[in-house]
Amino acid sequence: MTAQTHQFMCLSDNFGLLIHDPVTGKTAAVDVPEAAPVLAAAKEKGWTISHILVTHHHADHVQGIAEVKQATGARVVANGADAHRIPLVDEKVAPGGKATFGSLAADIIDTPGHTVGHINYHFPTDRILASGDTLFSLGCGRLFEGTPGGMWEALKVLRALPDDTRVFCGHEYTASNAKFAVTADPDNAALKARAEEVAKLREAGLPTLPTTIGREKATNPFLRADDAAIAATLGMAGRPAAEVFAELRERKNKA
Ligand code: ZN
Ligand code: FE
């Protein structure tokens, strides 16, 4: 049997995500932006949270951990390198290793950039990627601690995952990302179509996530920094992809 997912909103624009293993009944919450909606979502599904998989230490991803742990006894799984700044870590994982709960196993992918200790959880059998604040739909996380080069390398690893991988990210930022994306890649028909779809979804109050790796490869300028058309649009024809990526991120910061 395959993993079941449940995505819901927390705070103003954070996503909560539950991943449920129907074989063993175990359930992981990916980050806890706030406890109440995470506990309510689990109750609504009839699931009991057994694990909390943390992507990174920012408050809007960890501030509900203590309350959910107290309510459920969940085990907190996080990057060992960041355990000093993530609350109540029970299980330290490392990039290249795995996080397991019930019959499900996630590969831990190193995704420095937004923060240096940021990790992604990839469930290859179920084609699920929990990308935190690394990969967004039509965007990527702001570089608070890492370098553009490190983030670009991480995004290339994510880009190489199977096209039908469903991407669950930390925030509903797609509409604002779309506005910038069309300026960076104005002749991309797939991007234009996605931007229109996003506008309709948001008008209807619906989420734009999850997305897929295949769709992001076709539309997300931050996964396309090695595309000649984007380099040309930025006036950077022939420049290395990492430099084009850095410029994209810089321009998005100012947009
Ligand atoms: Zn963050
Ligand atoms: Fe965040």
Nearest by Cα to 11 from 66, 60, 44, 52: 60
CA atoms within 13 A of residue 48's CA, in its CB half-sphere: 11
Ligand nearest to the CA of 56: 1
Report how far residue 225's alpha carbon sits from residue 139's, in angstroms, rounded to the nearest whole number: 12
Phi, psi of 191 (to 5 degrees): -65, -45
**Confidence at residue 61, expressed as pLDDT on a 0 to 100 scale:** 98
State in Å: Cα 114 to ligand 1 middle. Answer: 7
Return the closest-CA partner of residue 121 out of 28, 36, 255, 40. 28
| C-alpha of residue 33 to centroid of ligand 2, in Å | 8
Element (H, E) at 198: helix 189-203
Q: What is the pLDDT of residues 163-203, one digit of tens each?
A: 999 999 999 999 999 999 999 999 999 999 999 999 999 99
Q: What is the pTM of this model?
A: 0.98
- pLDDT at residue 23 in the model: 96
Question: What average pLDDT does the segment 75-82 reach?
Answer: 98
* 3-state SS class at 250: helix
Write out the two tokens for 239: 């420049």
Average pLDDT of the chain is: 98
Which residue numbers are catalytic?
Answer: 56, 58, 60-61, 114, 133, 171
Of 148, 133, 143, the closest CA to residue 240 belongs to: 148
For residue 237, the CA-to-ligand 2 centroid distance in Å is 33
Select from 218, 93, 225 the least CA-distant residue to 156. Answer: 225
Q: Which pair of tokens denotes residue 190?
A: 């797939």
Q: Of 67, 64, 44, 209, which Cα lies nearest the Cα of 130?
A: 209
Alpha helices of 160-188 — where are they, by DSSP H? 174-184
pLDDT of residue 1: 63
97: left (phi over 0), alpha (psi -120 to 50) or beta: beta
Q: What is the mean pLDDT of residues 196-223?
A: 98
Q: Sorting pLDDT into bands at 50, 70 and 90, what band is 224?
A: very high
Ligand closest in space to the Cα of 14: 2
Spacing, Cα 113 to ligand 2 middle (Å): 13
Tell me the CA–centroid distance for residue 222 and ligand 2, in Å. 18
- How far is ligand 1, taken at its centre, from the CA of residue 189, in Å? 30
Q: What is the Å distance from ligand 1's center to 61 Cα? A: 7
Q: How remote is the CA of residue 11 from the centroid of ligand 2, in Å?
A: 10
Q: How far apart are the first and last CA of the chain?
A: 44
**237-244, long-range: CB < 8 A, 24+ apart:** 241/152, 242/148, 242/149, 242/152
pLDDT digits (tens, 9 = 90+) for 106-146: 999 999 999 999 999 999 999 999 999 999 999 999 999 99
Residue 254 has pLDDT above 70, yes or no: yes
Read off the pLDDT band of 54 (50, 70, 90).
Answer: very high
Question: Quick check: 42 pLDDT over 90?
Answer: yes
